Homo-oligomer: A and B are copies of this chain.
Amino acid sequence: MTSYTTPLRDLLFVYSELLNPAVIQALPGYEEVTPELVESILAEAGKFCEEQLFPLNRSGDEEGCRFEQGRVFTPEGFKAAYAAFTEAGWTTLQGHPEYGGQGLPKYINIMLEEIISSANFSFGLYPGLTGGACSAINGYASEELKRRFLPKMVAGEWSGAMCLTEPQCGTDLGLLRTKAEPQQDGSYLLSGSKMFITAGEHDLTENIIHLVLARTPGAPKGIKGISLFLVPKISVRDDGKLAAPNGVSCGSIEQKMGIHASSTCVINFDAAQGYLLGELNQGMEAMFVMMNNERLAVGIQGLGIGEVAYQSAVAYARERLQGRSLSGTKHPDKPADPILVHPDVRRMLLTMRAYGEGNRALVGWVARELDRSLRHPDPRSRRDAADCVALMTPIVKAFITDCGFELANLGMQVFGGHGYIRENGMEQYVRDARIAQIYEGTNGIQALDLIGRKLPVHTGRYLRHFFHPVKAYLEEKENDAGLLVFVLPLAKAFGRLQQATAWLAQKGMENPEEMGAAATEYLRLFALVALGYLWLRMADLGIRNQDGDEAVFYRAKVDTARFYFERILPQTGALFASIMSGSSTMMQFNDEAF
């Protein structure tokens, strides 16, 4: 009952029309990345995901992963699909050409990630984490280690995993206990136990490369004494060939609410040989390269789940006959009208659409800046772009995963009772989407990252990369009569964001709990303004193109923008009031009384 077609038109609309594709094509090494090339890659990727991954989504959920004597078996069909995935080269898109990658822009890979997340969220986590691990290795490993590990990882023959969490430490990594003992050959022996390790063990690849946070003897307490190590499941010789198993074992896998086809493992390190990445005690910095990558990826998972939930709900709303239109029968030939006629069903679908397409635009913007931050020849431009990515990463992670869950629930609600039945597939999206609000730093932690780290840094330098373009665009359009219905509410919402930001900057200096109390609502306020800005730009494009061949497409952009501005953006007023009420209701509440 679920259905999915790659939203190629909308992906390309964002890539080529909303954003200027020449910006990416102008980056060194991307001269040949024409919009046509992008389109052909995405069309192929979409075909692969629709045909190979989407059909395994439901069966993977039902079967789940199986743990037997230390080994993890993925569900039926995953192994073959993964083999086809690597064979088709989908793991190599963003990889460095020196190690067998195609060296394409990150943005293209990000669009691929959206499509995979729609087709089969659980599957996507296997290759997904490898990409982040490659980035960290690329950034922090010695040339020798890169040569030894990256080619197989880029090719997807080996996968990557990220080992942070321990039973006593999740958010607070300062509490971690895993030990790394230095050896005479410069390597380390790691011992300790990690939990919640996504793709920590599975049967898809012949080796798994763990990036592990651990402490060396005598390291400072807390997060300043944490180092990052590369620890292969099976040792790798200097020539890249596999040697003996390393002291890495899987102790168990978790039974979870969702993402059943993704293995979530306890991984035990028992004097396992590892290699330091980056500097001693600077592990958090190196891990954040991977983590920031993953945080964007998690936001994109939310985008992908929202898209498939939307498409499935639309298909159901067209075919389910129930009741008659309030304005009079629309299909007298049928026993009832399709539920698409009902305003409340349309409200749900348009809410999904407004968030979904808005978020795709937001992801595209950040993806473009990510590529600029990595490749632009001018250091100042690279820094500006990196500032923007740093600012928007917690918003992409938290807001888009909140939307992913909300959209999955709206999609399920459109299905009514049939949505609650497993075989119809909608409830899986709700269960799968839910993890994205939690892992890679809960959404509450993202909000603290935005407000406590990203706002104050360099006295608000990051913020300018959002505030300036919004302000400039509003000024540019303030006399455009056709856009007035969008410009005015956005200007108002933007004013609220500016005012809340200034207030928090001041209050937070006096009392950091003021920031903590406002964080979640502030992040949402920020995100809604960001989407408002992007919807204004999309409406502008829609208006300018609504008489052409694709009138239906562009007209829908304008109409969805109207829905966003009239029915969603008003939330900013409530968020503003809530933020400005301060922390006292939370902090003065008697602990005993909870």
Q: Interface of A with B (CB < 8 Å)?
A: 165, 168-172, 174-175, 196, 254-258, 314, 317-318, 321-323, 326-327, 335-336, 340, 342-350, 353, 405, 409, 412-413, 416-423, 427, 430-431, 434-435, 437-439, 442-444, 447-448, 511-513, 515-517, 519-520, 552-553, 555-556, 559-560, 562-563, 566-568, 570-574, 577-578, 581, 583, 585-594
Contacts and interface: CB of A to CB of B under 8 A. Distances in A.
User: When A and B form their complex, which 3 residue pairs have the shortest distance between CB atoms, in order from nearest?
Assistant: A343-B516, A570-B577, A556-B593
Contacts of A519: 343-344
> How many of these chains are in the complex?
2
The SS class assigned to the A binding surface is helix
A314 B594 contact: yes
Given A327-B511, A520-B347, A570-B573, A431 B593 contact: no
B165 A417 contact: yes
A356 B323 CA distance: 34
A327 B583 CA distance: 12
Contacts of A520: 344, 347
Nearest to A257: B427
A343 B513 contact: yes
A451 to B, nearest CB: 10
Given A344-B447, A516-B344, A593-B559, A171 B570 contact: no
A447 B581 CA distance: 30
B172 A323 contact: yes
B570 A574 contact: yes
13 contacts: A168-B335, A175-B336, A343-B519, A346-B517, A346-B586, A347-B520, A350-B586, A409-B434, A420-B434, A559-B585, A562-B585, A566-B577, A574-B574
Contacts of A347: 517, 520, 586
Contacts of A563: 585-586, 589
Given A172-B323, A430-B434, A511-B327, A578 B570 contact: yes
A256 B422 CA distance: 5
Contact of A444 (B344, B350, B443): B344
Given A350-B586, A585-B563, A516 B413 contact: no
A592 to B, nearest CB: 6
Contacts of A577: 566, 570, 573
B438 A417 contact: yes
Most interface-central of A171, A552, A583, A588 (chain B CB within 10 A): A171
A292 to B, nearest CB: 19
A442 B421 contact: no
Contact of A555 (B345, B405, B513, B590): B590
A585 B567 contact: yes
A594 B256 CA distance: 34
A593 B175 contact: no
Contacts of A430: 257, 434
B196 A417 contact: yes
Contacts of A255: 421-423
Contacts of A570: 573-574, 577-578
Given A343-B587, A434-B430, A586-B563, A592 B420 contact: no
Contacts of A165: 417
A142 to B, nearest CB: 33
Given A169-B322, A556-B593, A559-B588, 7 more contacts: A170-B417, A256-B420, A343-B587, A344-B516, A417-B438, A431-B431, A567-B581
